[in-house]
A = this chain, B = another copy of it.
Amino acid sequence: MASITVPNPLPSPEQDAQDLRKAFQGWGTDEKAIIGILGHRKAAQRAAISETYARLYGESLLQRLHSELSGDFRGAVMLWTADPAERDAKLAHKALKKRDDRHVWVIIEVACASSSDHLMAVRKAYHSLFSSSIEEDVAFKFSETNPLRQLLVRLVSSYRYDGEHVDEEIAKSEAAELHDAIRRRSHAEVIRILSTRNKVQLKETFKHYEQNFGIAIDEDINNQGSSQLFSMLKAIVWCLTSPERHFAEVIRSSILGLGTDEASLTRSIVSRAEIDMKKIKEEYKKRYGTTLNDDVIGDTSGYYKSFLLALVGSADS
Contact = CB atoms under 8 A, between A and B. Distances in A.
A163 interface: yes
Nearest to A135: B196
B159 A158 contact: no
Interface string A115-148: 0100010011001000111011001100010000
Contacts of A195: 135, 139
B192 A139 contact: yes
B120 A159 contact: yes
Contacts of A120: 120, 159
Contacts of A157: 135, 154, 157-159
A154 B192 CA distance: 11
A135 B161 contact: no
B127 A163 contact: yes
B154 A133 contact: no
Contacts of A131: 161, 163, 165
A14 to B, nearest CB: 34
A144 B198 contact: no
Nearest to A197: B136
A188 B131 CA distance: 23
Nearest to A126: B161
Nearest to A127: B161
A153 B116 CA distance: 17
A198 B154 contact: no
Interface in A9-62: none
Contacts of A163: 127, 131
A165 B127 CA distance: 11
Interface in A141-185: 144, 149-150, 153-154, 157-163, 165
Contacts of A165: 131-132
Interface of A: 116, 120, 123-124, 127, 131-133, 135-136, 139-140, 144, 149-150, 153-154, 157-163, 165, 186, 188-189, 192, 195-198
13 contacts: A120-B120, A120-B159, A133-B161, A133-B198, A135-B157, A135-B158, A135-B195, A136-B160, A136-B161, A136-B196, A150-B150, A154-B154, A154-B157
